[in-house]
Structure 1
Amino acid sequence: MANPSKAKGTAWESLIVGYLREHHNDATHRNVQMGSKDIGDIAGYYLHALEAKAEKEITLPSYIAQANREAINAGQPFGCAVVKRRMKGVSDGYVVRDVATDVRLMNRLRDMEDALKAAAPSAYALLDKQHREAA
């Protein structure tokens, strides 16, 4: 690849895909770029359009604006940026979203947990225990 910055970005995207396949969703994959109707760099991060960023200078406002636009284009309710942390691996990177998006996500999580707790209390208890132990 002739452009070193593009190669660095592609490598970061590939590392994220590998991590998400192992820990989240084995169908995770890199998206084909769509120009003005871009749908994010990576698909398969549940309910999100994911924008991967591996840049020396971190500019959160532009990352978040881009992720939010791409979430709309992708038909996903949430956008986020996964930002590479210098000299660290994927698990030490940052997942970044604006407060409004995070509140919408937490409200959805709360509502879904309340619904599961009401409909299937033993299933809720098992999943709650499993996720608390994984932390």
Structure 2
Amino acid sequence: MSGYYLHAAELKAEKSITLSDYIAQANREAIHAGQPFGCAVVKRRMKGTADGYVVRDVGTDVRLVNRLRDMEEALQDVDYDRWSDLDTEHREAA
């Protein structure tokens, strides 16, 4: 799936949801695609895509959050004002 930064995404829209299979497949796809993270994008029945779920295993989520922390710290060191502006922007959007 293009447009999902740093991820290989396994897209699913099925009647029966099997997260463990989806995550295993997403992680294999991430390796093959050369992406650091795999995730499953699961569409809810009778709902639009935006109401679906993005699911990762805990190990992948920990690596993603640690990367985010490290990159934020690096940006703070290089350009604190830019980091502060982005932090404010994202907090206001939440």
The TM-score, its normalising length taken from structure 1, stands at 0.68
Match of 2:42 in 1: 83
Match of 1:48 in 2: 7
What secondary structure sits across from 2:11 in the alignment?
strand
What secondary structure sits across from 1:43 in the alignment?
coil
Tell me the distance in 2 between the aligned counterparts of 1:43 and 1:66: 17
Name the aligned partner's letter for residue 26 of structure 2: A
The CA RMSD measured in Å over matched residues stands at 0.7
Tell me the distance in 2 between the aligned counterparts of 1:79 and 1:123: 29
Name the aligned partner's letter for residue 88 of structure 1: K
Tell me the distance in 2 between the aligned counterparts of 1:43 and 1:98: 21
Match of 2:22 in 1: 63
- Pairs within 5 Å for 1:1-135: 42-135=1-94
Tell me the distance in 2 between the aligned counterparts of 1:86 and 1:94: 11
Tell me the distance in 1 between the aligned counterparts of 2:34 and 2:89: 30
Deviations 1:50-87 (A, max 9, x none): 11000000000000000000000000000000001112
Tell me the distance in 2 between the aligned counterparts of 1:128 and 1:91: 24
| Shift in Å, 1:92 | 1.1
Higher relative CO (Cα under 8 Å, sequence separation at least 6) belongs to 2
Between Structure 1 and Structure 2, how many residues are aligned? 94
Instruction: Mark the runs of 5 or more structure 2 residues left unpaired by the alignment.
Output: none
Name the aligned partner's letter for residue 76 of structure 1: Q
The TM-score, its normalising length taken from structure 2, stands at 0.97
Moved over 3 A (4+): none
* Residues 65-74 or 84-93, more deviating: 84-93
Name the aligned partner's letter for residue 105 of structure 1: L
